[in-house]
Chain A
Amino acid sequence: EVQLLESGGGLVQPGGSLRLSCAASGFTFSNYAMSWVRQAPGKGLEWVSVTSSSGGSTFHADSVKGRFTISRDNSRNTLYLQMNSLRAEDTAVYYCAKTGDYGDYYIFDYWGQGILVTVSS
Protein backbone atom coordinates (compact mmCIF):
# COMPACT_ATOMS: atom_id res chain seq x y z
CA GLU A 1 0.00 0.00 0.00
CA VAL A 2 1.38 3.38 -1.03
CA GLN A 3 1.77 5.75 1.90
CA LEU A 4 3.01 9.34 1.93
CA LEU A 5 3.38 11.01 5.31
CA GLU A 6 4.21 14.70 5.54
CA SER A 7 5.80 16.34 8.58
CA GLY A 8 7.52 19.56 9.57
CA GLY A 9 4.67 22.04 9.25
CA GLY A 10 3.55 24.58 11.79
CA LEU A 11 3.45 28.27 12.61
CA VAL A 12 6.30 30.47 11.42
CA GLN A 13 6.81 34.22 11.30
CA PRO A 14 7.04 36.09 8.01
CA GLY A 15 10.57 35.88 6.70
CA GLY A 16 11.18 32.60 8.51
CA SER A 17 12.04 29.13 7.25
CA LEU A 18 10.62 25.63 7.49
CA ARG A 19 11.55 22.29 6.02
CA LEU A 20 8.81 19.87 5.11
CA SER A 21 9.45 16.14 4.81
CA CYS A 22 7.43 13.43 3.12
CA ALA A 23 8.21 9.84 4.06
CA ALA A 24 7.23 7.40 1.33
CA SER A 25 6.53 3.68 1.54
CA GLY A 26 4.78 0.95 -0.40
CA PHE A 27 6.47 1.62 -3.74
CA THR A 28 9.95 1.99 -5.22
CA PHE A 29 10.48 5.63 -4.35
CA SER A 30 13.56 6.08 -6.52
CA ASN A 31 11.57 5.22 -9.67
CA TYR A 32 9.13 8.12 -9.51
CA ALA A 33 9.10 11.87 -9.85
CA MET A 34 7.52 13.60 -6.86
CA SER A 35 5.80 16.94 -6.41
CA TRP A 36 4.57 19.32 -3.75
CA VAL A 37 1.10 20.82 -4.23
CA ARG A 38 -0.46 23.33 -1.86
CA GLN A 39 -3.93 24.56 -1.01
CA ALA A 40 -4.54 27.85 0.77
CA PRO A 41 -7.46 27.79 3.24
CA GLY A 42 -10.73 27.61 1.34
CA LYS A 43 -8.95 27.88 -2.01
CA GLY A 44 -7.99 25.64 -4.92
CA LEU A 45 -4.93 23.57 -5.66
CA GLU A 46 -1.60 25.09 -6.68
CA TRP A 47 1.38 23.06 -7.84
CA VAL A 48 4.59 24.15 -6.12
CA SER A 49 7.57 22.02 -7.15
CA VAL A 50 8.64 18.78 -8.83
CA THR A 51 11.76 16.64 -8.70
CA SER A 52 12.72 13.90 -11.11
CA SER A 53 13.20 10.36 -9.86
CA SER A 54 16.94 10.88 -9.42
CA GLY A 55 16.65 14.41 -8.08
CA GLY A 56 18.74 15.68 -10.95
CA SER A 57 15.98 17.85 -12.38
CA THR A 58 13.75 20.18 -10.42
CA PHE A 59 11.19 22.83 -11.31
CA HIS A 60 9.41 25.35 -9.15
CA ALA A 61 6.38 27.57 -9.58
CA ASP A 62 7.21 31.23 -10.20
CA SER A 63 5.48 32.10 -6.92
CA VAL A 64 8.14 30.22 -4.92
CA LYS A 65 11.16 30.32 -7.22
CA GLY A 66 14.27 31.48 -5.39
CA ARG A 67 12.65 30.86 -1.99
CA PHE A 68 11.69 27.17 -1.98
CA THR A 69 13.89 24.19 -2.86
CA ILE A 70 12.67 20.67 -3.49
CA SER A 71 15.01 17.75 -2.90
CA ARG A 72 14.93 14.04 -2.18
CA ASP A 73 16.95 11.34 -0.48
CA ASN A 74 16.30 8.08 -2.28
CA SER A 75 18.25 6.13 0.35
CA ARG A 76 15.76 7.34 2.97
CA ASN A 77 12.67 7.28 0.72
CA THR A 78 12.04 10.88 1.68
CA LEU A 79 11.04 14.02 -0.19
CA TYR A 80 11.80 17.48 1.16
CA LEU A 81 10.70 21.06 0.66
CA GLN A 82 12.97 23.74 2.09
CA MET A 83 10.94 26.93 2.43
CA ASN A 84 12.77 30.22 3.08
CA SER A 85 11.65 33.85 3.20
CA LEU A 86 8.13 32.74 3.97
CA ARG A 87 5.24 35.10 3.32
CA ALA A 88 1.66 35.23 4.56
CA GLU A 89 0.51 34.06 1.13
CA ASP A 90 2.45 30.81 1.60
CA THR A 91 -0.05 29.80 4.29
CA ALA A 92 -1.57 26.55 3.03
CA VAL A 93 -1.90 22.83 3.44
CA TYR A 94 1.06 21.28 1.63
CA TYR A 95 0.66 17.89 0.00
CA CYS A 96 3.35 15.64 -1.37
CA ALA A 97 2.19 13.79 -4.44
CA LYS A 98 3.53 10.81 -6.34
CA THR A 99 3.66 10.74 -10.11
CA GLY A 100 1.82 7.88 -11.78
CA ASP A 101 3.12 5.25 -14.20
CA TYR A 102 2.38 7.35 -17.24
CA GLY A 103 5.68 8.85 -18.25
CA ASP A 104 4.11 12.17 -17.31
CA TYR A 105 5.59 14.23 -14.49
CA TYR A 106 2.26 15.74 -13.59
CA ILE A 107 -0.32 13.01 -13.12
CA PHE A 108 -0.59 12.66 -9.36
CA ASP A 109 -1.88 9.21 -8.44
CA TYR A 110 -1.19 9.23 -4.70
CA TRP A 111 -1.21 12.10 -2.23
CA GLY A 112 -0.19 12.49 1.37
CA GLN A 113 -2.69 13.61 4.00
CA GLY A 114 -1.29 17.14 3.92
CA ILE A 115 0.50 19.33 6.46
CA LEU A 116 -0.51 22.85 7.44
CA VAL A 117 1.96 25.71 7.20
CA THR A 118 0.85 28.98 8.75
CA VAL A 119 2.88 32.14 8.19
CA SER A 120 1.86 34.80 10.67
CA SER A 121 3.31 37.14 13.26
Chain B
Amino acid sequence: DIQMTQSPSSLSASVGDRVTITCRASQSISSYLNWYQQKPGKAPNLLISGASTLQSGVPSRFSGSGSGTDFTLAISSLQPEDFATYYCQQSYSTPPTFGQGTRLEIK
Protein backbone atom coordinates (compact mmCIF):
# COMPACT_ATOMS: atom_id res chain seq x y z
CA ASP B 1 0.00 0.00 0.00
CA ILE B 2 1.12 3.57 -0.67
CA GLN B 3 1.75 5.53 2.50
CA MET B 4 0.77 9.20 2.59
CA THR B 5 2.47 11.45 5.12
CA GLN B 6 1.29 14.99 5.81
CA SER B 7 3.15 17.75 7.57
CA PRO B 8 2.60 19.40 9.84
CA SER B 9 0.05 17.37 11.82
CA SER B 10 -1.30 20.60 13.27
CA LEU B 11 -0.87 24.23 12.50
CA SER B 12 -1.90 27.45 14.23
CA ALA B 13 -2.46 30.51 12.06
CA SER B 14 -4.33 33.79 11.97
CA VAL B 15 -6.99 35.12 9.64
CA GLY B 16 -5.26 36.57 6.60
CA ASP B 17 -2.18 34.35 6.86
CA ARG B 18 -0.88 32.25 4.00
CA VAL B 19 -0.38 28.61 4.95
CA THR B 20 0.95 25.53 3.23
CA ILE B 21 0.43 21.86 3.99
CA THR B 22 2.72 19.23 2.56
CA CYS B 23 1.88 15.67 1.56
CA ARG B 24 4.46 13.05 0.63
CA ALA B 25 3.76 9.69 -0.98
CA SER B 26 5.88 6.61 -0.31
CA GLN B 27 6.22 6.09 -4.09
CA SER B 28 5.47 8.07 -7.19
CA ILE B 29 1.76 8.67 -7.76
CA SER B 30 2.07 11.02 -10.76
CA SER B 31 -0.66 13.62 -10.19
CA TYR B 32 -3.20 11.26 -8.62
CA LEU B 33 -3.47 13.35 -5.49
CA ASN B 34 -6.62 14.83 -3.98
CA TRP B 35 -7.24 17.19 -1.07
CA TYR B 36 -10.25 17.21 1.25
CA GLN B 37 -11.42 19.59 3.96
CA GLN B 38 -13.32 18.25 6.96
CA LYS B 39 -15.04 20.29 9.65
CA PRO B 40 -16.00 18.78 13.02
CA GLY B 41 -19.00 16.48 12.80
CA LYS B 42 -19.22 16.83 9.01
CA ALA B 43 -18.28 14.73 6.03
CA PRO B 44 -15.13 15.53 4.08
CA ASN B 45 -15.43 17.93 1.16
CA LEU B 46 -13.35 17.56 -2.01
CA LEU B 47 -11.27 20.69 -2.63
CA ILE B 48 -8.71 19.70 -5.25
CA SER B 49 -8.30 16.70 -7.54
CA GLY B 50 -5.45 15.70 -9.80
CA ALA B 51 -3.01 17.61 -7.58
CA SER B 52 -4.08 21.04 -8.84
CA THR B 53 -7.65 21.09 -10.22
CA LEU B 54 -9.85 23.23 -8.03
CA GLN B 55 -13.37 21.87 -7.62
CA SER B 56 -16.35 23.95 -8.61
CA GLY B 57 -17.38 26.30 -5.82
CA VAL B 58 -14.06 26.12 -3.97
CA PRO B 59 -12.59 29.60 -3.36
CA SER B 60 -9.57 30.55 -5.46
CA ARG B 61 -7.48 31.17 -2.34
CA PHE B 62 -6.99 27.39 -2.29
CA SER B 63 -4.38 25.94 -4.64
CA GLY B 64 -2.57 22.67 -5.08
CA SER B 65 0.72 21.75 -6.68
CA GLY B 66 3.20 18.94 -7.05
CA SER B 67 3.68 15.64 -8.82
CA GLY B 68 5.49 12.38 -8.23
CA THR B 69 5.89 12.10 -4.48
CA ASP B 70 5.69 15.66 -3.13
CA PHE B 71 2.58 17.80 -3.04
CA THR B 72 1.42 21.04 -1.45
CA LEU B 73 -1.90 22.58 -0.52
CA ALA B 74 -1.74 26.35 -0.11
CA ILE B 75 -4.32 28.73 1.28
CA SER B 76 -3.40 32.26 0.29
CA SER B 77 -5.34 34.31 2.84
CA LEU B 78 -7.00 32.36 5.63
CA GLN B 79 -10.66 33.02 6.30
CA PRO B 80 -12.50 32.02 9.48
CA GLU B 81 -14.32 29.21 7.65
CA ASP B 82 -11.00 27.61 6.60
CA PHE B 83 -10.16 26.38 10.10
CA ALA B 84 -10.66 22.64 9.71
CA THR B 85 -8.75 19.42 9.16
CA TYR B 86 -7.24 18.76 5.74
CA TYR B 87 -6.48 15.35 4.24
CA CYS B 88 -4.52 14.37 1.19
CA GLN B 89 -5.42 11.12 -0.59
CA GLN B 90 -3.83 9.17 -3.41
CA SER B 91 -6.05 7.71 -6.14
CA TYR B 92 -3.16 6.12 -8.05
CA SER B 93 -3.71 2.56 -6.88
CA THR B 94 -5.90 0.27 -4.80
CA PRO B 95 -6.29 0.71 -1.90
CA PRO B 96 -6.66 4.49 -2.00
CA THR B 97 -4.96 5.88 1.07
CA PHE B 98 -5.24 9.10 3.05
CA GLY B 99 -2.72 11.14 4.94
CA GLN B 100 -3.17 11.34 8.68
CA GLY B 101 -4.63 14.83 8.44
CA THR B 102 -3.50 18.36 9.26
CA ARG B 103 -5.53 20.25 11.82
CA LEU B 104 -5.56 23.96 11.08
CA GLU B 105 -6.39 25.98 14.19
CA ILE B 106 -6.90 29.65 14.92
CA LYS B 107 -3.95 31.32 16.62
Q: Which residues of A are in contact with B by a Cβ distance under 8 Å?
A: 37, 44-47, 50, 59, 61-62, 95, 100, 102, 104-109, 111-114
Select which of A105, A106, A111 is within 8 A of B44 by beta carbon: A111
A44 close to B50 (CB less than 8 A): no
Select which of A47, A95, A111, A113 is within 8 A of B97 by beta carbon: A47
Complex A-B, nearest 3 residue pairs according to Cβ-Cβ distance, in ascending order: A106-B91, A111-B43, A106-B96
Interface: B64 (CB within 8 A): no
B98 close to A114 (CB less than 8 A): no
Tally A-B pairs: CB < 8 A: 60
A40 CB to closest chain B CB (Å) equals: 12
| Tier of interface size on chain B | 20 to 34
A-B contacts, 10 listed (Cβ < 8 Å): A37-B44, A44-B98, A45-B87, A45-B89, A47-B96, A106-B96, A107-B46, A111-B45, A113-B43, A114-B43
Select which of A44, A62, A109, A113 is within 8 A of B100 by beta carbon: A44
Q: How long is the Cα–Cα vector from A59 to B93 in the complex, in angstroms?
A: 12
A107 close to B49 (CB less than 8 A): yes
Main secondary structure, interface of B, reads loop
A95 close to B43 (CB less than 8 A): yes
Residues on the A chain within 8 Å of B32, using CB:
104
B95 close to A47 (CB less than 8 A): yes
A112 CB to closest chain B CB (Å) equals: 7
A100 close to B89 (CB less than 8 A): no
A45 close to B46 (CB less than 8 A): no
Contact (A59, B94) CB under 8 Å given A44-B87, A44-B100, A102-B50 = yes
Across the interface, name the chain B residue whose C-beta is closest to A60: B95
Select which of A47, A104, A107 is within 8 A of B98 by beta carbon: A47
A100 close to B43 (CB less than 8 A): no
Q: How long is the Cα–Cα vector from A25 to B44 in the complex, in angstroms?
A: 19
Residues on the A chain within 8 Å of B89, using CB:
45, 106
Across the interface, name the chain B residue whose C-beta is closest to A46: B98
Select which of A44, A59, A107 is within 8 A of B95 by beta carbon: A59
Candidate in A61, A108, A111 with the most chain B CB atoms within 10 angstroms: A108
Q: How long is the Cα–Cα vector from A46 to B38 in the complex, in angstroms?
A: 14
